Amino acid sequence: MCTTVTRRLCAFTLVLDIQFENNSGLAAGAFTALVNGWESATEDMWSGPLGHQHFGCCTVSFDMITRTGSGRPGSHQIDVVSGPQTSFVNALGPDCTGGRWDALDTGNVAAHESGHLLGLPDEYDYNGPGGTYQNLNPQPAGQAQSIMAQTWGNVAALPSHVQTTMGGLEADCPWWCCFHWPIHWLGDAARISISIPLLVKADLPVPEEVSLVKTQPSEYSPLEALELARDGKPSSLMDAVRTLTEAGAEAHDAILVALEDKQPVVRWVGLAAGDSLGDEEVLEIGMRDDDLRLRVAAASGLARRQRRDSIAVLLEGLTSNQISFGHPPQLLADQADQALVSLAGESVAATSDSPEAKAARWRRWAQTTD
Ligand SMILES: [Zn+2]
């Protein structure tokens, strides 16, 4: 088990053990800083503003153990590549699994993917009108939205997430936690620490995402992968991208077919697969797409190859409040900003600007580098 829970009296700790393999091109020190940033952002998200969540009369806090390297039994195995790419985990936790994140992933993206490692499915799809993003677990206006539905703006781990995670386990909050006895009266005998494997009960319905992701991408042909993409579900998109990427050169024709498709979601899959293959032809086609989201996705791939002709498209995306395709979805403006950082280097980037101020700063930078 790579996701476990321990209890001391009435306080649970959810422990997520992850080993990150550095294939991002970052130097060791920068990689450690990146992983430490993900750890603190994820712990803050899942422990909540109070530092703990509630489970019956018990508290639940969250501890992410991060390691670097690969192959350690007892740790989820995450391959970290240079970004932007489609980040994913191979299966929902708590069982040990793997996945691929990218070095541009924000703390919110790490917290979202960690939610999957706790066993939680996505709460969004691309089945809105015209294949658009829709939040499947919307919270009232003015309140934090679910971290499993989006990674921008005001987001949080919801009480239902804690119930689902703990309730799918053999974890029980002892009855006596609901009594206001001074807990030390219970004596040392009660002061025990137990480790409970997070077993998904056999009689729970298996989330759709699990049944889809456990199929090996290599079992599909490239054209079947495109059929999967038309489904529009995030897990289908991930499988389609992975299939086309793993098929390598064979997938090239299928990717070009995808770029002719009427659905933006399918075209996005073609672009994402082409980007993973390093196929500049695909990205150049994408830069001329009608859909701004696809132009920015293509320009992001070209920016990573230090292609300066992507700058104009990325500047266009900076003030858009559209939601870009991907897993998890993010704001288009954030995607463009991250791509510009990859082109210009961290030194030009600032973290706390408003979207408008960021856009103005990048326009100034673009003029001075002409
Ligand atoms: Zn997700």
Helix (H/G/I), strand (E/B), else coil: 52: coil
pTM: 0.83
CA of 148 to the centre of ligand 1 (A): 6
What's the rounded Cα separation, in Å, for the pair 305 and 300? Answer: 9
Number of domains the chain is built from: 2
CA of 96 to the centre of ligand 1 (A): 17
Looking at residue 176, what DSSP letter applies? G
Same domain, 230 and 161: no
* Residue of 338, 335, 317 lying closest to 325 (CA atoms): 335
Same domain, 204 and 234: no
Same domain, 168 and 256: no
CA of 112 to the centre of ligand 1 (A): 6
CA of 13 to the centre of ligand 1 (A): 23
CA of 93 to the centre of ligand 1 (A): 12
Same domain, 228 and 289: yes
How far are the Cα atoms of 35, 110, 327 from residue 78, in angstroms, in the given order? 11, 11, 15
Note down pLDDT in tens along the chain; length 370 residues.
Answer: 899 999 988 899 999 999 999 999 999 999 999 999 999 999 999 999 999 999 988 999 999 999 999 999 999 999 999 877 888 999 998 999 999 999 989 999 999 999 999 999 999 998 888 778 999 999 999 999 999 999 999 999 999 999 999 987 789 898 878 765 444 444 433 333 222 222 222 233 333 333 333 345 567 788 888 888 888 888 888 888 888 888 877 788 888 889 999 888 899 999 988 888 888 999 999 999 999 999 999 999 999 888 999 999 999 999 999 998 888 999 999 899 989 988 887 666 666 678 788 888 888 888 887 6
The pLDDT value given to residue 247: 80
The pLDDT value given to residue 202: 27
Same domain, 95 and 156: yes
Same domain, 277 and 328: yes
The pLDDT value given to residue 207: 35
CA of 123 to the centre of ligand 1 (A): 8
Which residues have CB less than 5 Å away from ligand 1 (the ion)? Answer: 122, 328
The pLDDT value given to residue 249: 72
Do 273 and 283 contact (CB within 8 A), yes or no? no
Decide which of 161, 186, 209 is a domain's last residue: 209
The pLDDT value given to residue 294: 95
CA of 135 to the centre of ligand 1 (A): 12
CA of 119 to the centre of ligand 1 (A): 11
CA of 15 to the centre of ligand 1 (A): 19
Same domain, 221 and 176: no
What's the rounded Cα separation, in Å, for the pair 349 and 205? Answer: 45
CA of 117 to the centre of ligand 1 (A): 10
Decide which of 187, 209, 231 is a domain's last residue: 209
Decide which of 161, 184, 209 is a domain's last residue: 209
Same domain, 43 and 114: yes
Same domain, 22 and 158: yes
The pLDDT value given to residue 34: 96
The pLDDT value given to residue 194: 29
CA of 113 to the centre of ligand 1 (A): 6
The CATH number given to whatever domain includes residue 36 is 3.40.390
CA of 325 to the centre of ligand 1 (A): 12
What's the rounded Cα separation, in Å, for the pair 115 and 152? Answer: 15
Same domain, 154 and 220: no
Same domain, 323 and 274: yes
Domain with 108, as residue range(s), is: 3-209
Helix (H/G/I), strand (E/B), else coil: 243: helix
Same domain, 26 and 127: yes
The CATH number given to whatever domain includes residue 355 is 1.25.10
What's the rounded Cα separation, in Å, for the pair 284 and 172? Answer: 55
CA of 45 to the centre of ligand 1 (A): 15
b/e code 44-78 from CB counts within 10 Å (16+ = b) = ebbbbeeebbebbebbbbbbbebeeeeeeeebbbb
CA of 69 to the centre of ligand 1 (A): 24
